[in-house]
């Protein structure tokens, strides 16, 4: 299952330490203006080597192989390639016969009978750059055809949580922040926390929050293609994702129906809800309110602290992982979460639009 989507489809390929990673986008309508600079910018937001991330240096320069002619999409598959430039496969030689704690090493080996021990192969977060390619092109299409605006930010890092609502954060300021959080106070505390973790050889989890505005009413299906179910599937497919909640989320268990129901009001001839506890989706279908959800990410499993590893011979050994790793993945997860949101909305909008 390397393809996501029904009408607007993304197929990703490549491994962390292979020659390249790439994406094939199929189902994008013809005539959409393609801007390579926007694609470069989106990839740069996810690129390794930024503050508080892995020290791996990759230019992540996209090569467009097909599907674009004279600056617009042709309606045929769009293939984009990004070559790996800074692999250090030798850093993983010691892991050839080891199963790292909380990685996909053991499960891949058992499922396929082999695995790529160099950075995890397909299970590496390097694969997510292909999702950013797909999301960037989905965003170009949505920008031409709709008023949909998607923004995402880190709203929690370990126990540090911003008090600024995402609705009040500015997208440019979010990406200007090394923590991807438009809250100077929380940013300072998060930064200091990550530096302490890096020195200790440990890691932390966090939360990425998303708000999609101007989403038209009617996206999603009432049963198996529910909008929030598809969003959950998209988010939980991201490496390291550990939880998803939309609207009020798990806090609904503490509420009465009288507290949680979104009552209707009329505003300039348009129906809206007073609250948005549903997160913009009711009965699996968008209701015109902002779509709001959160994605929890686990602490990166590659840490310098010694831990017990399994071995291919069925034993356990005490081992410390070396190499270049993120103390938290939520910083670089922000553009990936944003991209997957755009892919879901583009796919469902096309299904509703029926070009």
Write down the domain spans for the chain: 3-353
Average pLDDT over residues 333-339: 97
* Band of residue 47 on the pLDDT scale cut at 50, 70, 90: confident
Percent of the chain with pLDDT over 70: 94
The pLDDT of residue 116:
82
- Cβ atoms of residues 193 and 185 within 8 Å: no
Identify the H or E element spanning 286.
Answer: strand 285-286
Distance CA 164, CA 190 (A): 14
Distance CA 205, CA 190 (A): 11
The pLDDT of residue 355:
46
Residue 339 has pLDDT above 80, yes or no: yes
Q: Which is nearest to 231 in space by CA: 242, 241, 246, 217? A: 246
Residue 187 has pLDDT above 80, yes or no: yes
The pLDDT of residue 120:
75
Q: What is the dihedral of CA 251, 182, 133, 127, to 10 degrees?
A: -70
Our measurement of the distance from residue 298's CA atom to the centroid of its chain's CA atoms, rounded to an integer in Å, reads 13
Predicted TM-score (pTM) of this structure: 0.93
- Where is average pLDDT lowest: 99-108, 249-258, 271-280? 99-108
- Cβ atoms of residues 321 and 113 within 8 Å: no
Residue of 355 and 336 predicted with greater confidence:
336
- Cβ atoms of residues 292 and 209 within 8 Å: yes
Question: 216 φ, ψ to 5°?
Answer: -65, 155
* Band of residue 86 on the pLDDT scale cut at 50, 70, 90: low
Question: 56 φ, ψ to 5°?
Answer: -60, 130
Considering the domain 3-353 in this protein, what is its CATH number? 3.60.150.10
Distance CA 114, CA 15 (A): 14
């Amino acid at each position: 299952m390397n393809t996501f989507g029904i009408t607007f489809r993304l197929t990703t390929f490549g491994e962390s330490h292979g020659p390249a990673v790439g994406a094939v986008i199929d189902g994008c309508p013809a005539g959409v203006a393609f801007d390579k600079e926007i694609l470069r910018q989106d990839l740069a937001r996810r690129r390794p080597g930024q503050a508080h991330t892995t020290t791996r240096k990759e230019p992540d320069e996209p090569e467009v192989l097909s599907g674009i002619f004279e600056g617009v999409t042709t309606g045929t598959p769009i293939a984009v390639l990004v070559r790996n430039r800074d692999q250090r496969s030798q850093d993983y030689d010691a892991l050839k016969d080891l199963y790292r704690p909380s990685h996909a090493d053991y499960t891949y080996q058992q499922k396929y009978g082999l695995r790529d021990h160099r950075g995890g192969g397909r299970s590496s977060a390097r694969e997510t750059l292909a999702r950013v390619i797909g999301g960037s092109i989905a965003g170009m299409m949505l920008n031409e055809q709709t008023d949909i605006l998607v923004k995402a930010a880190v709203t929690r890092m370990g126990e540090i949580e911003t008090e600024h609502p995402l609705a009040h954060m500015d997208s440019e300021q979010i990406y200007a922040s090394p923590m991807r959080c438009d809250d100077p106070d929380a940013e300072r505390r998060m930064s200091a926390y990550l530096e302490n973790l890096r020195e200790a050889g440990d890691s932390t989890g966090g939360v990425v929050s998303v708000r999609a505005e101007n989403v038209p009413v009617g996206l999603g299906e009432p049963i198996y293609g529910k909008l929030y179910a598809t969003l959950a599937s998209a988010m939980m497919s991201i490496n390291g994702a550990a939880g998803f909640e939309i609207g009020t989320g798990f806090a609904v268990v503490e509420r009465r129906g009288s507290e949680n129901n979104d009552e209707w009001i009329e505003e300039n001839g348009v129906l809206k809800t007073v609250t948005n506890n549903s997160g913009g989706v009711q009965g699996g279908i968008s209701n015109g309110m902002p779509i709001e959800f959160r994605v929890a990410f686990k602490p990166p499993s590659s840490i310098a602290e010694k831990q017990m590893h399994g071995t291919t011979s069925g034993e356990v050994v005490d081992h410390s992982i070396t190499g270049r790793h993120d103390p938290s993945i939520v910083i670089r997860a922000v553009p990936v979460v944003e991209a997957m949101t755009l892919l879901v909305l583009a796919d469902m909008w096309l299904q509703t639009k029926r070009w």
